[in-house]
Amino acid sequence: MKETLEELVEQRRGYKYLNKNGVSPYLHFQYDLKSRKQIKSGMLNTNIDDECGSGWNLATLKWIADNCMKLDGIIVECEIPKKAKIIVPVKSNGKFRTDIIKIKKIHSIESLFPALKDINQRLKDYKLVNPITAEKMPPKSKIKKIMAQVGAQVGNQLWAQLWAQVGDQVGDQLWAQVMDQLGDQLWAQLGAQVGNQLGAQVRDQLGAQVGNQLGAQVRDQVWAQVRDQVMVCACYAVKEFFNLDYDHPAFDLIRLGIMVVSVMGKFKVFGKNGKFLGEFDQ
């Protein structure tokens, strides 16, 4: 995500997150955003063992995105004059400080993080679409091929991979904010529309055979698959929302409009409204 700490220090530049009125979130200092004069700090903590200290604290975009950035703020790009001292803490993961800065440019969040373009309006307009729409069984050979690539227990693994992808583009802090707003639709609605419908159909299909013959272990495995596939639907929704250049074999099942549960040596295929479409040997 943009420049590294080392690159910024070498270029004598840095970034600072402020709220939309030009106020810092920590010390509530009001910056004059129109001024391009050098600003001197009264004190500078030169102890490299102190991660935070007096002086003008600057950071990389990644540090800002992961730690303090909000959707309604701005990012100030600052120059550091040659006569100024730069202190990089030993344990820094992107933050440093100096005694003199000069505001170079004011950036909107969207201009530096394209994945967030029109994010507030997109969040406002977002309507979840249940992707499980198939009413007929797709080709069995295609399903088998996809399942061979998908493997087992993909839900949490896929979510972790997707989290990393989004985090790289928008930062952990904003990713969490977006999920606060999308979360109810992704989890509650998908859980109801996909998980509950699929769960009911799985129960109907497996019936007493799973309950009486195979016991709790198999039941747990089946419900874990149902939860995984709800997670896959949520991941696919996030991928589409952010228009991410990221794919996974599990998404091919979503594109077919189906969910597949593996049990007792068979693939059981479900479609729209949890409808059972058929089964075949693995």
Residue-wise pLDDT tens for the chain (282 aa)? 578 999 999 999 999 999 999 999 888 999 999 999 999 998 999 999 999 899 999 999 989 988 888 888 999 999 999 999 999 999 999 999 999 999 999 999 888 888 778 877 887 787 777 788 899 999 999 998 888 887 655 656 666 777 677 666 777 777 777 777 666 666 666 666 666 666 666 666 655 445 555 556 566 777 777 777 777 877 787 778 777 777 888 889 889 999 888 877 888 888 887 788 988 888
Q: What is the enclosing helix (H) or strand (E) of 267?
A: strand 266-270
Helices (H) and strands (E) in the chain, counts: 11, 10
Q: What is the enclosing helix (H) or strand (E) of 125?
A: helix 119-125
Residue 136: C-alpha distances to residues 133, 139, 272, 279, 281 (Å): 9, 10, 9, 12, 18
**Long-range contact list for 274-278, CB < 8 A, 24+ apart?**
274/132, 274/194, 274/196, 274/197, 274/198, 274/199, 274/200, 274/201, 275/135, 275/201, 276/201, 276/204, 276/205, 277/134, 277/135, 277/136, 277/137, 278/137
CA angle (179, 224, 141) in 5-degree steps: 100
- Is 133 in a helix, a strand, or coil? coil
Question: 68, 17 in Cβ contact below 8 A?
Answer: yes
Tokens of 153: 């227990």
Q: What is the enclosing helix (H) or strand (E) of 184?
A: none
Question: Quick one: pLDDT at residue 8?
Answer: 97
